[in-house]
Amino acid sequence: MNGAVVVHPRFPERRGAARASRWWGKAWVRAVEEAAYTAGDAQRARALARSGRIGQIRVAVGGFVAAVEDEDGLWAVQGSVPVLDDAACEALVETVAAETGRVAALLAGDLPHTLVEHAEEAGVELLPYGGELGSTCTCGFWADPCPHALAVLYQLAWLLEADPLVLLHLRGLPRDDLLARLHDRGSAPGPDLAPADPGEVDLDLAADAALRAEAMLGDLPPL
């Protein structure tokens, strides 16, 4: 798996629809539903996403892995998202640095719409479309993506809503890399504007979570 791996805890069972509530989460969900082969696959995936039967999601540059359980067994899902090239990453960093408050907004869990619009004007498509969401699953389903992969993609929408830096990480610009590049430009926030990374936890707990995720995923090949 490329880049640093961030292990996110599994979601508990959720009642009601698995809907996104923030604009970039809704854009991600639209891409997921574009990727679904049938409306029935998407419906089954939404129910599975709410069920609490998806293990920790591990996110890295360019991809993610998770274990999914259903009535037929335990399956390993591996997904991919196109990575921005060096020029695109540089343009994205410049876009973040171009307006005061953007990096603070990202660190606070917001993704300014103007940031994405200006990135697009610079030739950087931050939010992927359906055809760019790749996946494989050990279930052997006849269509790609299968409902298990779609369910993980739905849960990724919730992660992205809580922390848009997860989206940047997937696309090739992890949080530490972004902050280092901004610091080089003199644009990094001061300590009072840089809250602790919500993904940072006690190292022993993180290691335990990673080991449990590895055990669930078995011999899944690297991204």
The pLDDT tens digits of the residues spanning 172-197 come to: 999 999 999 999 887 655 544 444 44
Interatomic CA distance for residues 50 and 52, integer angstroms: 6
Residue 103 has pLDDT above 80, yes or no: yes
Contact 170, 223 (CB under 8 A): no
The pLDDT score that the predictor gives to residue 200 is 40
Residue 4 has pLDDT above 60, yes or no: yes
Closest among 107, 101, 77 to 168, alpha carbons compared: 107
Judged on CB neighbours under 10 Å (0-12, 13-18, 19+), 143 is: exposed
pLDDT one-digit tens code per residue, 112-152? 999 999 999 999 999 999 999 999 999 999 988 999 999 99
Cis, bond preceding 145 (omega within 30 deg of 0): yes
Interatomic CA distance for residues 53 and 113, integer angstroms: 33
Judged on CB neighbours under 10 Å (0-12, 13-18, 19+), 1 is: middle
User: Of 100 and 13, which is predicted with more confidence?
Assistant: 100
The pLDDT mean for the chain works out to 83
Judged on CB neighbours under 10 Å (0-12, 13-18, 19+), 16 is: exposed
**Weakest-pLDDT range from 20-29, 88-97, 117-126, 183-192:** 183-192
Mean pLDDT, residues 104-116 taken together: 95
Residue 69 has pLDDT above 90, yes or no: yes
Closest among 6, 213, 24, 46 to 112, alpha carbons compared: 24
Residue 74 has pLDDT above 70, yes or no: yes
Q: Name the residue type at position 44.
A: R
Mean pLDDT, residues 207-223 taken together: 42
